[in-house]
Amino acid sequence: MAENNEEIINWDNVFKQSDSFKNNQPFKFGFIEEFIERDFYEKLYDTFPKPNDQWFDASSLQKSKIQYNWGQISLEHDIVPDGDDESLSKEWNRFKRYVESDEFFEKIRQFSGVPVNRLKHFSFAIKHKGDFQIAHAHNTGPNILILMIYFTKGWEHGEPGGTYVATDMDDESSIIFEAYNLDNSLTIFHDGPNAIHGVRKITKNDVERKAIQLYLEMYDEKTGWSGPGSLIKNTEELPEI
């Protein structure tokens, strides 16, 4: 039986933010609430993977979090493997198949104007009190979209922990947007030298900020990925993405 993909992504909500995404400055970014159709989102939320020995500490001087990569690949930047992940629920495997589909990429290109055509990275991440990510910009290629999809209920407005975007790496007063509704929402931006983003340090006890991160990129069968490129940062050590 064919899968009903209409119940996965709330494309009406996505396209309502298309003009804003394309016109935001100094780089293209957007925030979409109710990104996933609510019934399907609740199934993903209920089966969000719990940390075990397959998760790893992805912390460095520039950030802190624990992470699990699709298919239990061991390195943070490994290319996502084909196929399902048997350790995850049927809903998560269905979601991953959809975000690899031609239909998904056709609509994402329509929304963004960025010619991406393949899923490059797929990871789960959890942050707790004290976790953060300093402001940085990847600038790894001209045809890359980075998506942070949140699976966290009850996050208070104004509390740090959601991804922010800014115009200056060294000045938090330059923040132009910070996500606070982390229940079924998406922060998406077009990679580039001005795509500065980070996460302010979480200050509350007994919280878990759960999210997934997707990298969508242009891929050519002859020339490969459109990146890698360089990474701009505000410290000398290269931060892991």
Does a structural domain hold residue 166? yes
Does a structural domain hold residue 2? no
Count of positions (residues) in the chain = 241
Please give the Cα distance from 215 to 65 (Å, whole number). Answer: 18
pLDDT tens track for 163-172:
999 999 999 9
What mean pLDDT is predicted for residues 26-52? 97
Please give the Cα distance from 136 to 233 (Å, whole number). Answer: 5
- 96 closest CA partner among 123, 58, 63, 74: 123
Q: Give the SS3 label for residue 111.
A: helix
What mean pLDDT is predicted for residues 113-117? 97
What mean pLDDT is predicted for residues 92-113? 98
pLDDT tens track for 199-235:
999 999 999 999 999 999 999 999 999 876 545 544 3
Does a structural domain hold residue 215? yes
The structure's pTM equals: 0.92
- Residue-level pLDDT at 233: 46
Q: How many domains does the chain divide into?
A: 1
Neighbours of 208 (CB within 10 A): 15
Q: What's 126's domain CATH number?
A: 2.60.120.620
Q: Does pLDDT of 76 surpass 90?
A: no
Does a structural domain hold residue 135? yes
Name the E strands within 81-199: 118-127, 133-137, 144-151, 163-166, 175-178, 183-190, 196-199
Does a structural domain hold residue 91? yes
Does a structural domain hold residue 1? no
Does a structural domain hold residue 144? yes
- Residue numbers of the domain that contains 45: 7-221
Mean pLDDT of the chain: 92
Does a structural domain hold residue 150? yes
- Residue-level pLDDT at 229: 59
What mean pLDDT is predicted for residues 21-33? 97
What mean pLDDT is predicted for residues 230-241? 42
pLDDT tens track for 116-153:
999 999 999 999 999 999 999 988 889 999 999 999 99
- Residue-level pLDDT at 98: 98
Q: Does pLDDT of 239 surpass 60?
A: no
